[in-house]
Amino acid sequence: MNKQTFQTQLKNELEHLRAEGVTSPHVLHNVLTDTIMKNLSGNWKESKKNHLAKRRACYFSMEFLIGRSVYNNLLCLGIYKETEKIFSECGFSLADLEATEDAALGNGGLGRLAACFLDSAATLNLPLDGYGIRYKYGLFKQKIENGFQTEEADNWTKYGDSWSVRHDEDAVEISFSDQKVLAVPYDIPVIGYELDNIGTLRLWQSEAFEDFDFKLFNDQKYIEANRERILAEDISRVLYPNDDTRDGKKLRLKQQYFFCSASLNDIIKKHKRVHGDIKTLCDYVTIQLNDTHPVISVPELIRLLTVNEGMTYDEAFAQAKKIFNYTNHTIMPEALEKWDVDLIRELLPEIYNIIFMINENFMADMYKSDIKPENIEKMKIIKGSQVHMANMATYCSSYVNGVAQIHTEILKASTLHEWYEVYPERFQNKTNGITQRRWLALCNQELSELITELLGSSSWVTDLSELRKLTSYADDSAVISRFLDIKKTKKKQLADFILNREGISIDADSIFDIQIKRLHEYKRQLLNAFSILYIYFGIKDGSIKNFTPTTFLFGAKSAPGYRRAKAIIKFINEIAAMIEKDDEVNSLIKVVFVSNYNVSYAEKLIAAAEVSEQISTAGTEASGTGNMKLMANGAVTLGTLDGANIEIVEEAGAENNYIFGATVEELEKIMPEYSSRKLAASNEKIRRVIETLVDGTFSDGGSGDFRELYTSLLDGASWHTPDNYYLLGDLESYVEAKLRCNSDYRDSAAFGRKMWLNMCNSGKFSSDRTIADYAENIWKIK
């Protein structure tokens, strides 16, 4: 875009607003966005044309956790400083736009990864476009009331959505057995860093064909008059609606089919327009399935190619196997998506018939290859009364990948072992990554300026491996001092933000120990809470001395129907309140659970963090990406040998991080004989901590949820063994590592050196590296 033209137009618009006395950040945001969109429209149109002209990749995901777009887009366009100056000259502040949209169209790492991937592909000038759902409310807004999580709708488009462009001409009719809706696309530009290339994220919104029945309204049947509109809009109303009833499951299946069918129709339409011959579709299009949510695409593509395009079933199936690739994000069998046969048959009868045929193909292939019957039984797509989506994805894809070295090895050795034995050539590893544009250059501009100064250029913004050159400064006391000063600045900024937003005062001179991620039992926020109690009791009884003051910061949202996760949030807040009232300890320990953790909050927390809590049970976290963001900003990792933590330690050195806990191999031997009750009975300190759940120390508001947590750890439940994530077993190893880290912090120069070396060795974890690997070895795009 022509920067001078943009600056002139923006200044004129802002001066007009100033003359009219307009100060609303939402109006300012929309004026800025509209000006940008006008100036990049030509490049965007040309980029779309270029993507379609050659082989391209399409990324199908239920989530795209975009976050706030405005600052990142200014950075990538190379106009951040100029825009900041123009705002200031016109009497406004660019920082005021923090009050605007934060598109929470994802739940956590899965959706943020998808957003990072699109950013990297645009910056690498690769033809990758995203397809998903334009949720009206996205993920909920979280409030903490009396220590409990409460939820309210997040109407992120309330003041408009000027980054999106609606395309009615590309609307698609989607049919279910009980309903027909219109899928209307909205395109969002994904701007390559200081490049002309602009990728596209196409999000589908569900609408009714007739959204208002005037006759019914005139007959005073007001609700019935809007019924079709309400039911249609429900499909794209919220991310992951509660599915503990059949209606909830039906809505989730509708969501998945809705966006997959619309996206495939769009891809076919564009391919035919540009290339003509539908039989060359697999030569020009490859589709990455981000987890199992979009796997319904496989039978839907076959249906579209047979019913609409006249292919035989065998031709369509051959196309599908060449087009699709599958990224697995979990090794836990219970998390691998399954759909009841009768639900698919009821809602999508044609799709079920095709799934049945795919299963028959699979059976024939396996018996021809003399695969053991017991293995075939494990691998079947239709098994009993359920369709196993991971099995269908693995069978019908060209490639299957894990997202960290250990995760991929576990897939091959356990979760998808039988598949690996049959198709070893399909399996690849693609360790996740994060975009350094948002997660370092943007969120930590002070550190970015130091990096650029020391390297002599800003080339690291598109090649994060350049940071390794800075390892030579690890023993330069002047550089480490400047680095620590920057960290202190970011800590003060975070402390001010938390005071303003949460009304909580934290000490910027304390250690900032941060655990920020989706709330789930396997991520073990409860273990962190137990460790804080363990240390608290140790300080009280004198067994722990010389404890360096620490602020323990948590950020997480629980799924609204996830009872245990919500109980853990309440438990953490009870601990925070107890310590705050205890004058013997509150100068040493502060616990803060921030509310409504999202992308923009993460940018502040990550830049300020000194200790990165990555404490999932070994063998449960596929990769993690928060660990990479925190590492790139100079935090040390306090964690288990799980997911990408292993590779972080390989890159930065075990001596510069704090690793604890049982390994995957050790847990295989421990868990069959493990008794959490025996451990608690024989260890007074562990028992003292866990009994706070039931001894009246804390209140769960009469819900009984703390007692349920207690019994789940000691007695288990119908669906799991006692302490199945090994919290109590890892607790003392964890506390020892935490105290060692706490003690080491007192030598600021030595600890600063550890932090510096983590930042310097974070280059591997750029999503640019990940996407270049996908492009070359899976997608075959240039």
Q: Exactly one of 462, 625, 692, 770 is catalytic; which is it?
A: 625
Q: How would you class 747 by CB atoms within 10 Å of its CB: exposed for 0-12, middle for 13-18, buried for 19 or more? A: exposed
Contacts of 328 (CB under 8 A, 6+ apart): 291, 390, 393, 400, 401, 402, 403, 407, 411, 415, 416, 622
Q: Exactly one of 293, 430, 517, 524 is catalytic; which is it?
A: 517
Which residue in 628, 751, 524 sits closest to 532, CA to CA?
524
Which residue in 147, 142, 117 sits closest to 130, CA to CA?
117
Locus of tokens 């509660």: 242
Q: Which amino acid is at 476?
A: D
Locus of tokens 């974070």: 762
- C-alpha 54/C-alpha 779 separation (Å) is 12
Locus of tokens 């019913």: 307
Contacts of 472 (CB under 8 A, 6+ apart): none
Tokens of 551: 């602020």
Contacts of 478 (CB under 8 A, 6+ apart): none
Helices then strands, counting H and E runs in the chain, come out as 33, 21
- C-alpha 578/C-alpha 236 separation (Å) is 42
Q: Are strands 285-290 and 324-327 parallel, antiparallel or unpaired?
A: parallel
The alpha-helical segments, DSSP class H, found in 715-747 are: 727-744
Q: Exactly one of 329, 438, 520, 570 is catalytic; which is it?
A: 329
**What are the backbone angles phi and psi of residue 22, rounded to the nearest 5°?**
-80, 125
The answer to whether 663 and 618 have CB atoms below 8 angstroms apart is yes
Cα–Cα separations (whole angstroms), residue 254 to 242, 728, 748: 13, 41, 55
Q: Exactly one of 557, 629, 753, 754 is catalytic; which is it?
A: 629
Find the helix packing angle between 477-502 and 748-760, rounded to 10°. Answer: 90
518 catalytic residue (yes or no): yes
329 catalytic residue (yes or no): yes
Q: Exactly one of 56, 388, 412, 523 is catalytic; which is it?
A: 523
Q: Exactly one of 141, 518, 566, 590 is catalytic; which is it?
A: 518
Tokens of 448: 């970015």
Residues with catalytic roles: 329, 517-518, 523, 625, 629
